Amino acid sequence: MMMNRRTALVMLGGSVLAHVARAQSYPSRPIKLVIPTSAGGIADYVGRSAGEIMARSLGQPLVMENRPGGASTLAANVVAHAPPDGYTMLMSTEFNMATAALLRKDLSYDPRKDLAPVGVLARFPLGLIVNAKLPVRTVRELVSYLRAHPGAVNYASAGAGTGYHLAAEMFMAQNDVQMVHIPYPGGAPMTTSLVRRDTEVAFAALNTYLPHVRSGELRVLAIANDKRIAAVPDVPTFAEAGFPAFDADMHVGLAVPSGVAPDVIQKLHAALAKVWADDALRARMAISGVEIASQHTPQDYAEQLAREGRRWQALIAKNKLRME
C-alpha cells in the first residue's frame, strides 16, 4: 500500500511538472484565431490588426482562419471542440457567447461550459441609421412617424437573432412602435437594402455605413454609447436624444476551449493587454467607429457576458424569438 501511494505521488508530481513545463514553454508554435466573419470585413480587420500586436508579445504568429456562418456560431463550435491547449482561439461575440443559447435549440456547444473568455478586443457602438429620404431627423421624430404609420416601415438586420435584430426589437418594445423585420444574410446586403430604400431603418455598427452617411444617402439619428464617437461627432447618444433606457452594442473578444491552463490564458490575456495599450491602433479604429477595449480581466468579461444574457433573455421570451 505504501509503495502504491508513493508511486501515485511520484506520478502526480510528474504530471504537475509536465503541466508547468508546457505552460512555461507556451507558445511553441503558431496560434490559430478563428474569425466568425468573412475576410475583408471590419471584424476581420480588427482581428488581423490585433493579431499582429499579440504575435509580437507571444513570440509566435497568429494565423487567421475565417469561418463565417450561423451568425458566428459555426466558428464558436469549431473552437469549442478544439483541443484545450491554447493553440486555437475564437473571436468571440455577444451572440456566440451569450444569446445564441437563448435563441437556438440545436446549438452544438454550450458557451458557458465549452468556452472560456479571455477578454474583450473591441466594441462596435450601434447607430440608429435611416434612409435619408425618410422624413425624420431625430429619434423623437422617428418614434412619432412610426406611431403614425404602424407596420409601414421595414427595418433591416443581418439575420434573425443577431445583435442588430435584438436592438430593433428592444427599441420597438421600449417605445411601443412596430416595424417589419427584413433579415439579410450579412451586413453587405443589409447596407445595400438601406441605401436602395428596400428598408428604411437599421441598428448597426457604423463602419460600413459611413461612406453612405457622408454622401447624404443615409442619416444617423443616435449612437448607443455613453459618449459621442469620433466617426460622427455631431450625432447625439441615445441619452442625449432623450432615450436613456436604450443600451445596445456589439463587441468582439477572445475565447478559448474550456480546459485551457490558467497560465496559458494569462499569457494570452497579457498579449491582449498590449492591444489595449496601442494608441495608434485605437486612433485608427476610432475613425471607423470602433472602440478598442480597456483594461479588464477574464472574469470581468465572463460577468459581462452573463449580464448580456440576462438582459436579452426577457426580450427573447416576451417576443417568442427563435433562430432555426
**Cα–Cα nearest to 68, from 205, 187, 191:** 187
Q: What is the pLDDT of residue 4?
A: 63
Percent of the chain with pLDDT over 90: 75
Give the Å distances, CA to CA, from 108 to 80, 99, 184, 225, 293: 9, 14, 23, 33, 29
Domain ranges across the chain = 22-124+251-318, 125-224
22-124+251-318 CATH: 3.40.190.150
pLDDT surpassing 70 at residue 3: no
pLDDT surpassing 50 at residue 198: yes
Q: Which residues of 93-107 are buried (b: 16+ CB within 10 A; e: fewer)?
A: bbbbbbbbbbbbeeb
Q: How sure is the predictor about 188, in pLDDT bands with cuts at 50, 70 and 90? A: confident
Question: What superfamily does domain 125-224 belong to in CATH?
Answer: Periplasmic binding protein-like II (3.40.190.10)
Q: Do domains 22-124+251-318 and 125-224 have the same CATH topology?
A: yes
Do the bridges between strand 62-66 and strand 291-292 make them parallel or antiparallel, or are there none, so unpaired? unpaired
Cell triple for 272: 491582449
Q: What is the largest CA-CA distance in the chain?
A: 85
Grid cell 466568425 in the structure block, residue: 36
In the chain, DSSP assigns E strands to 31-35, 62-66, 88-93, 115-131, 154-157, 180-183, 201-205, 218-224, 249-257, 291-292
Q: Compare 40 and 265 and report the one with higher pLDDT.
A: 265
Residues contacting residue 186 through CB under 8 Å, at least 6 positions apart: 38, 68, 158, 159
